[in-house]
Amino acid sequence: MFSKKKIEDQVLVIFGSNGDLARRKLLPAIFQLYTGGFLPSKFIVTGAGSQEKDEAAYRNDVETAIREFLPKEAAAHADELSEFLKQVYYKKVHNQTRSDFEGLRDYLYELTDRLEIHRNIIYYFSIPPFLYETVAANLVEYGLNREEEGWKRIIVEKPFGYSYDTAIELDKKLHSGFNEDQIYRIDHYLGKETVQNIMVTRFYNGFFEPIWNRKYIDRVEITAAEKIGVGGRGGYYDDSGAMRDMIQNHLLQVLAVVAMEPPAIFDSDSIRNETVKVLQALRPIKGSEVAQQVVRGQYIATQVGDKMHPGYRQEQGVAPNSKTETYVAIKAFIDNWRWGDVPFYIRTGKHLPARVTEVVIHLKHAPHQLFKQLCLTQPNNMIILRIHPDAGVAIDFGMKIPGAGYKVHNVEMAFKYADLAEAKIPEAYERLLLDCMVGDSTLYARADAVKASWKFVDPIIQAWKINPDIPLYFYECNTWGPHEANHLFGDSYLKWREPGE
């Protein structure tokens, strides 16, 4: 399940240690790694946040977060939780105050000396993206990037840049103090077991790959639907929108894994060499094509049962006339030998009826429809790679209904990933943190991939910005988004799947 490489002594510094991501995901993931016995004997976590607090107060916060987001595990491992908390430290750091980093350096040096821990340090940037460059520069200023006394790595959250140009600029700035092998661009979708399983499904078995191409595949649908709205994240989301928040990173990475060529060997470089080729082969959508190939939407206030959901424009931190999209559907093409002219339909949205992430491979019909006159239904041959929830793989095909005649019924053969796991399926952040700790970047996004996906989404975002004629469709909460998204299928009878949870 996890890497068998030896994990060296190390320190994890979390910038933004009081924030939502740290509380919800990072601290619980580290605790899970701790109880699973994956952390080295000498390991500490140092929160670096702008609030004034002492160690005891921060340990208390960490305990609260773990109890809130891992209630069962915290109760089952109460003794281990108190032991774990002894490895948690805190230093007040104001990210934009350069001299605070001198204090951080002295604090880390004093701690590592006292606890006799090697100065191997991961800095996790769990902070707003506009601070990435500043924090990196401040670390460099005080030599906190230097590797004479132990390696140093930075983990940078998405979004990596706001556009193609800013991503290049950010990359340049980070590289002025850190080498590529010190930079880990996290995309938590790549840490999902089920996304990695797509590679195993395709490349371990002999029978998927022969049909995994334009000859047998009619179209591919990739969906990441969420039931929740933007909640308290309106301030961040309004500058980002679904395109930057979900498509540019998570869903294009999933697409790359679905469409990549088999690597010759299974290592970080070979895999990433193949996924980047897919992103580079995405057919650009020109400004003039955006209205035909991309549909954007925004949720409006809706009464669902006895609950009134506010519209996106009424969410905290959102401009009252915001045109930010909370839903996007795209018809994309990958211009290469394997995928020539196979449409890839990609969509994501907030406040949809179900929380579902899946990839659906729709196979072409049999070349000759022998049973056309005898049955009413169309054959529906699909391979469904379910990422969340109920992770697994299902294959849908037609079977004869027993009895007279040749009536055919669509059936599903399903495998649930949970049936296979002896232990629990690890959270994406557990896997990714551990990978960074051992220096394995396979499941982190490489600079060229980030750039290639910006290159694809940038012209769409630009067209929305400059062309007021491209509509923003409004949709009610708890619906599958604007029905105009079905127009992406052209005049055919096809429409988006409406998967249940």
Q: Which is nearer to ligand BG6, 245 or 396 (CB)?
A: 245
Q: Which is nearer to ligand BG6, 24 or 455 (CB)?
A: 24
3-state secondary structure of 390: coil
Nearer Cβ to ligand BG6, position 147 or 239? 239
Residue with tokens 């500490």: 44
Nearest distance in Å: CB 224, ligand BG6 = 6
Checking 363-366 for CB contacts under 8 A at 24+ apart, the result is: 363/211, 363/216, 363/217, 363/218, 364/215, 364/216, 364/217, 364/218, 365/218
Q: Smallest gap, in angstroms, from Cβ of residue 350 to ligand BG6?
A: 7
The DSSP code sequence of 400-456 is EPSSSS--EEEEEEEEEGGGT-SSPPPPHHHHHHHHHHHT--TTSB-HHHHHHHHHH
The DSSP letter of residue 252 is H
Which of 226, 274 has the CB closer to ligand BG6? 226
- CA 366 to CA 26: how far, in whole Å? 48
Kindly state the smallest distance separating residue 67's Cβ from ligand BG6, in Å. 21
Query: Which residue sits closest to ligand BG6, CB atoms considered?
Result: 245
Smallest gap, in angstroms, from Cβ of residue 471 to ligand BG6?
A: 23
> Which of residues 73 and 245 has its CB atom nearest to ligand BG6 in the complex?
245
Residue 463: enclosing H or E segment and its boundaries?
Answer: helix 447-466
Least CB distance from residue 226 to ligand BG6, whole Å?
Answer: 5
Q: How many residues sit close enough to ligand BG6 to count as binding (CB under 6 A)?
A: 3
Minimum CB distance to ligand BG6, residue 245 (Å): 5
| Residue 201 vs 249, nearer CB to ligand BG6 | 249
Shortest distance, position 158 Cβ to ligand BG6, whole Å: 6
Q: Which of 387, 450, 383 is nearest to 218 (CA)?
A: 383
Cα dist. 426→33, 38, 62, 219 in Å?
9, 12, 20, 31
Residue type, 443: L
Sign of CA dihedral 138, 139, 145, 149: positive
CA distances to 66, 421, 483 from 25, in Å: 9, 22, 34
Which C-beta is closer to ligand BG6: that of 44 or that of 318? Answer: 318
Provide the β-strand partners of residue 173: none
Q: Three-state SS for 384?
A: strand
223/233 Cα distance (integer angstroms): 22
- CB-nearer residue toward ligand BG6: 108 or 251: 251
Question: Interaction with ligand BG6 in 243-272: which residues (CB under 6 A)?
Answer: 245
Q: Which two tokens stand for residue 424?
A: 């629990």
User: Which bin fits 22, alpha (ψ -120 to 50), beta or left (φ > 0)?
Assistant: alpha
| Min dist. Cβ of residue 179 to ligand BG6 (A) | 26
In the block, which residue shows the tokens 């350069």?
98
Does position 357 interact with ligand BG6 (CB under 6 A)? The reply is yes
Active-site entry in 188, 250, 309, 362: 250
Q: Are 299 and 311 in contact (CB under 8 A)?
A: yes
409 tagged catalytic: no
Please give the residue ranges that form the binding site for ligand BG6 (CB under 6 A).
226, 245, 357
Provide the annotated active-site residues: 250
